[in-house]
Amino acid sequence: FSPKPQVLRRGGSDPEGLEGLLQRAGGSVRAAGTLPLREDGLEKVGGVRAGDDELDVAIVGGGMVGLAVACALSNMPLTKHLRVAVIDSNPALKSTNYLKKDGIPDSRVSTVTPATISFFRDIGAWEHILQQRHAFFGKMQVWDYTGLGYTRYNASDVCKEYLGCVVENKVLCNSLLLRLQEQKEDIEKMVYPTRLVSLAFPSKSRNVGVAGLKPPSTEAEELRRSNLVKLDLSDGQTLYSKLVVGADGSKSNVRQIAGIKTTGWSYPQSAIICTVEHTAENDTAWQRFLPSGPIALLPIGDNFSNIVWTMSPEEASRHKSMSSEDFVMSVNRALDFGYGPHPNSSSLDHYVERLFSDFGGTAASTKECFEVPPRAIGLISERMAFPLSLMHSHDYVSKRLALVGDAAHTVHPLAGQGVNLGFGDAAALAKVISEGVSVGADIGDLSLLNRYENDRKGANVAMAAVLDGFQKMYSVDFGPLNVLRAAAFHGAQYISPLKKNIISYAMGDRKSPLFS
Amino acid sequence: RPLRSDATDSRAPPPWSPPAPLAQQHTMLRRVAPPLRRALASSAVPHRGGARLLDPGLSSPHALPPQWRRWASAAAASSLPPPPPSPPQGPPRHAGGGSAASSLNPAEVAKFAAIAETWWDSQGPFKPLHLMNPTRLSFIRSTLCRHFRRDPYSAKPLEGLKVIDVGCGGGILSEPLARMGATVTGIDAVDKNIKIAHIHAASDPTTASIEYCCTTAEDLVKENKQFDAVISLEVIEHVANPLEFCQSLSALTVPNGATVISTINRSMRAYAAAIVGAEYILRWLPIGTHEWSKLVTPEELVLALQRASISVEEMAGFFYNPLTREWSLSDDTSINYIAYGIKKSEAPSATPQ
């Protein structure tokens, strides 16, 4: 599937107005001697009507990535007519108002990269996020407990205005829902507030061959349905769909039913997340690697920041159960003077900086000094703890099935990339479905879905490997390795071209950190 | 007259003799490139089935066993015999005997009947067609959208158009056309193909309305059927008389309608890629699927269509990238190519231009 019509020799293009006029007139330049337009509507063909329970795309899981797929499909001109349904029992999917900004920020937040932001802009959901709480940040500082080095990143290094934006997950979901509501009037019918109980993929055994006893319409219906995926829902309904999209998270039910194997391992770490308050606004993303795992402080708007602190499971349960004052003190210690000294730069660093500034210009942040992160003055949300693991599916697709988001892969949260990979999947899948519709293909066809897998698998595996590498590198306290890591910090801080590459890769603008 | 008749067909017309006025033919030849001129001149002598150049020698259609390899080796073992007078076996349907209007070659028909069940197996003998299908559909979509002035961003741009797929096989092309909104009729000479196409199309409501018939283009012409768009992909290299086939396709097209034909070029690159590569090395196609001597060059196709009152407006080549394993459209027509033409609106004149 490589539709490239621009290669053809074109005589000239019709002005937009003429085509539109002809379309609105309901006809076309038809040669003489042909039959008039059929009176049938879209669904009734040859006397066979597709039932209300027959869908084109059934998205199992109405989280951020599942809703992003639905939104992308409803936004593209070639796919907006497809019958899409979202199956998720979360009652939040039924609410349709803007979330107020003055409430307490939720601890579950995501950092969206500029690549994801432009995807949201394309599907028309970003403007809804701008109406709710969100926080752009333009600076980032990464260092570790040894005090041997630090790296600062600035959006102006790559001539951008921001490195990313931190948004609460519920705000992301809500914006996608609001956009869907704008696109489709019958959004009520689109969301099925139930759980999926079982799936049956089409196979030869499902072909029911009872001839002659049933009326022809039922036989035709059965023949049609035997080619679709059958979804049984918990409220007793049965749906049939040409394509099932599994967006139901890391413990995906759909993936298990389809029998897709995964590879992965648990990290010996859990992450604690919570929201803290400062005296002033925080505009930088901070991350410090401690002996047991990184602690990240992300701005989420106003004077609030989100903490993601990775540590061993025992430490995690201890930190979860201690009093909030003790916890705040522990956080400040972890971000500031605890575990090791502050890093500072030496004359060697300045020499390296001058050396590399000849290649490809300086980045503004190479001159910035180390700063101490802002102090947390209070804990304003509950602390939540999650175990961390790496998981990757062997296949993203099978006949009439595609997996997106966490159902296909989970990564370590240390670089805030997880959900961005999921949104990348959603964009790629919608694009592949659109290409399939443009050549009249069956959207559940495996060769079409394989294009999605080939597009995303490489990128996702590479990112997961990079993050896994980082996790392993920073979990060992070993002299020579510490020096290596320090050298890496210094390199990333003072070698401008390398720094720009790293930033672009993390922002989603490049496919690979080293090679273009 | 660029194409020679296939003398191995028992129902072939008598050896070709140049039509009058010859002077006009020679004038036309002078304007044509030297290699093509040589080809046209040499084709004045009817062949006995062998090409000028090296040919796998599989042109003998007699003795049709079900296995293609056995057929290939049997033919190769025997020397090139004179054309067989016996009627062929196999299920081709012809409209009455003795008429030179049939474009069917019974040998070719039998070839496809042998592998009919594998049409929808995307890993089977029709794998290259399945791989190539989206690329040729994108060409068809873009040319037909422009021809009929349809919105290219519409999901069903061919709504209301009557389209016929000549040589539809298992319906690989007909089904996507129906999904694009067209009213599709699919015809094929092999009855098994029609049955398989019908069953497969019934499983999707958008494709269940396709009308499949086991008939030939000539029969439909006799019934005075006409269509807005006539599409015949990868068929012309298998017919007995390509010139008359083009005439039939043209007769099926309404004036100002569109005709789309795709085939393989008769070039050395095509021999290397489509015959040696696809049949012998990659084993995508059974050996003997394509005979090099029956392939049609773009120039010949354009001239044949011109005689049939169709002016070719656009042509594109298909290019297969073995690294990404994808087909894409290109300007290189040296192996596979597809042509889109418009039928003239006035009646075709008797003399060539």
B291 in a known ligand binding site = no
Determine the residue among B142, B143, B345 to mutate to test chain A binding: the one whose Cβ has the most chain A Cβ atoms within 10 Å. Answer: B142
Nearest-angstrom CA–CA distance, A140 and A493: 11
Tally of domains within chain A: 1
Domain extent for A120? 54-203+230-507
Nearest-angstrom CA–CA distance, A71 and A481: 46
Residue-level pLDDT at A395: 93
What Rg do the C-alpha atoms of chain B give, in angstroms? 19
Give B176's contacts in chain A (Cβ within 8 Å): 439-441
B346 in a known ligand binding site = no
Give A447's contacts in chain B (Cβ within 8 Å): 122, 130-131
pLDDT at A423 over 70: yes
- Contact present, B254 and A34 (Cβ < 8 Å): yes
Tokens 């308050």 belong to A277
- Contact present, B178 and B157 (Cβ < 8 Å): no
Q: Any idea what DSSP says for residue A490?
A: H
Q: What is the mean pLDDT of chain A?
A: 82
Q: What are phi and psi of B264, to 5 degrees?
A: -110, 140
Going by pLDDT thresholds of 50, 70 and 90, the confidence category of residue B116 is low
Strands (DSSP E) contained in A335-451 are 378-379, 384-393, 397-398, 401-403, 409-410
pLDDT at A269 over 80: yes
Token output for A316 = 């995690």
Closest to B134 (Cβ–Cβ): which among A1, A22, A50?
A: A1
**Of A351, A369, A350, A361, which Cα lies nearest the Cα of A497?**
A361
3-class secondary structure for A74-116? HHCCCCCCCCEEEECCCHHHHCCCCCCCCCCCCCCEEEECHHH
| Helix residue ranges per DSSP H, B148-212 | 174-179, 191-201
Nearest-angstrom CA–CA distance, B147 and B143: 6
Q: What is the dihedral of CA A244, A454, B320, B143, to 10 degrees?
A: 50
Chains A, B: CB contacts within 8 A come to: 150
Model ipTM?
A: 0.77
Residues 6+ apart with CB under 8 A from A428: A452, A455, A456
Share of chain A above pLDDT 70, in %: 84
Burial bucket for residue A464 (CB in 10 Å: 0-12, 13-18, 19+): buried
Taking only residues 33 to 52 of chain A, the set having a beta carbon closer than 8 angstroms to any beta carbon of chain B reads 33-38, 42-43, 45-46, 48-50
pLDDT at A6 over 50: no
- Contact present, A440 and B176 (Cβ < 8 Å): yes
Q: What is the pLDDT of residues A232-256, one digit of tens each?
A: 999 999 999 999 999 999 999 999 9
Residue A194 lies in a domain: yes
Nearest-angstrom CA–CA distance, B113 and B101: 22
Taking only residues 243 to 302 of chain B, the set having a beta carbon closer than 8 angstroms to any beta carbon of chain A reads 254-257
Taking only residues 266 to 325 of chain A, the set having a beta carbon closer than 8 angstroms to any beta carbon of chain B reads none
CA A426, A429, A434, A440 dihedral sign is negative
pLDDT at A490 over 50: yes
Q: Tell me the pairing of strands A54-60 and A238-246.
A: parallel
Residues 6+ apart with CB under 8 A from B172: B119, B120, B126, B129, B130, B133
pLDDT at A45 over 60: no
Determine, for residues B130 and A42 on separate chains, whether the beta-carbon distance falls below 8 Å: no
Residue-level pLDDT at A50: 62
Nearest-angstrom CA–CA distance, A443 and A433: 6
Determine, for residues A38 and B160 on separate chains, whether the beta-carbon distance falls below 8 Å: yes
Give B209's contacts in chain A (Cβ within 8 Å): 45-46, 48
Closest to A48 (Cβ–Cβ): which among B130, B161, B208?
A: B208
- Beta pairing partners, B214: B188
User: Any chain A CB within 8 A of the CB of B151?
Assistant: yes
As a residue count, chain A comes to 516
CATH number, domain of A480, equals: 3.50.50.60
What Rg do the C-alpha atoms of chain A give, in angstroms? 26
Q: What are phi and psi of B238, to 5 degrees?
A: -110, -5
**Of A168, A191, A166, which Cα lies nearest the Cα of A96?**
A191
Nearest-angstrom CA–CA distance, A423 and A69: 8
Nearest-angstrom CA–CA distance, B226 and A480: 81
- Contact present, A59 and A85 (Cβ < 8 Å): yes
Residue A434 lies in a domain: yes
Determine the residue among B122, B126, B138, B256 to mutate to test chain A binding: the one whose Cβ has the most chain A Cβ atoms within 10 Å. Answer: B138
Residue A25 lies in a domain: no
Q: What is the pLDDT of residues A318-340, one digit of tens each?
A: 999 999 899 999 999 998 887 88
Nearest-angstrom CA–CA distance, A327 and B104: 86
Can you say how many angstroms the Cα of residue A71 is from the centroid of all Cα atoms in its chain? Answer: 13
Q: Tell me the pairing of strands B162-166 and B227-233.
A: parallel
Residue A220 lies in a domain: no
Longest dimension (CA), chain A: 91
Nearest-angstrom CA–CA distance, A331 and A320: 12
Closest-CA residue in chain A for B160? A37
Can you say how many angstroms the Cα of residue A107 is from the centroid of all Cα atoms in its chain? Answer: 18
Closest to A223 (Cβ–Cβ): which among B146, B178, B202?
A: B202
Q: What is the pLDDT of residues B28-60, one digit of tens each?
A: 444 444 444 454 444 444 334 333 333 333 333
Q: What is the pLDDT of residues A436-453, one digit of tens each?
A: 999 999 999 988 999 999
Determine, for residues B176 and A18 on separate chains, whether the beta-carbon distance falls below 8 Å: no
Residue-level pLDDT at B124: 76
As a whole number, mean pLDDT of residues B322-343 equals 89
- Contact present, A414 and A470 (Cβ < 8 Å): yes
CA B18, B24, B27, B29 dihedral sign is negative
Going by pLDDT thresholds of 50, 70 and 90, the confidence category of residue A352 is confident
Residue A18 lies in a domain: no
Return the top range by mean pLDDT from A203-212, A267-276, B340-349.
A267-276
Tokens 């503004």 belong to A364
Determine, for residues B179 and A5 on separate chains, whether the beta-carbon distance falls below 8 Å: no
pLDDT at A426 over 90: yes
Going by pLDDT thresholds of 50, 70 and 90, the confidence category of residue A360 is low
Residues 6+ apart with CB under 8 A from A255: A246, A262, A393, A403, A407, A408
Residue B56 region by backbone torsions, left for phi larger than 0, else alpha for psi between -120 and 50, else beta: alpha
Token output for B43 = 């084709």
Q: Any idea what DSSP says for residue B280?
A: I
Burial bucket for residue A3 (CB in 10 Å: 0-12, 13-18, 19+): middle
Residue A152 lies in a domain: yes
**Of A326, A460, A453, which Cα lies nearest the Cα of A383?**
A326
- Contact present, A282 and A303 (Cβ < 8 Å): yes
Residue A35 lies in a domain: no
Residues 6+ apart with CB under 8 A from A266: A387, A388, A389, A390
Taking only residues 106 to 125 of chain B, the set having a beta carbon closer than 8 angstroms to any beta carbon of chain A reads 122
Token output for A315 = 């430490």
Give B133's contacts in chain A (Cβ within 8 Å): 439
Determine, for residues B179 and A45 on separate chains, whether the beta-carbon distance falls below 8 Å: no
**Of B229, B230, B193, B225, which Cα lies nearest the Cα of B212?**
B193
Residue A515 lies in a domain: no
Residue-level pLDDT at A53: 83
User: Any chain A CB within 8 A of the CB of B145?
Assistant: no
- Beta pairing partners, A143: A150, A288
Share of chain B above pLDDT 90, in %: 38
Q: What is the pLDDT of residues B290-301, one digit of tens each?
A: 888 888 999 999
Burial bucket for residue B168 (CB in 10 Å: 0-12, 13-18, 19+): buried
Residue-level pLDDT at B288: 79
Token output for A256 = 């298990």
User: Any chain B CB within 8 A of the CB of A77?
Assistant: yes
As a whole number, mean pLDDT of residues A375-391 equals 90
As a whole number, mean pLDDT of residues B287-316 equals 90
Residue by residue, DSSP assigns A252-303 as: -HHHHHHT--EEEEEEEEEEEEEEEE-SS---EEEEEEETTEEEEEEEEETT
A85-89, B29-33, B302-306, B309-313: least confident range = B29-33
CA B98, B100, B102, B103 dihedral sign is positive
- DSSP H or E segment with residue A428: helix A418-438
Q: Hey, what domains does chain B have and what are their CATH numbers?
A: 107-353 (3.40.50.150)
Residue-level pLDDT at A204: 57
CB atoms within 10 A of CB B15: 11
As a whole number, mean pLDDT of residues A354-364 equals 71
Nearest-angstrom CA–CA distance, B91 and B112: 10
A111-120, A197-206, A320-329, A498-507: least confident range = A197-206
As a whole number, mean pLDDT of residues A263-276 equals 91
Residue-level pLDDT at A232: 92
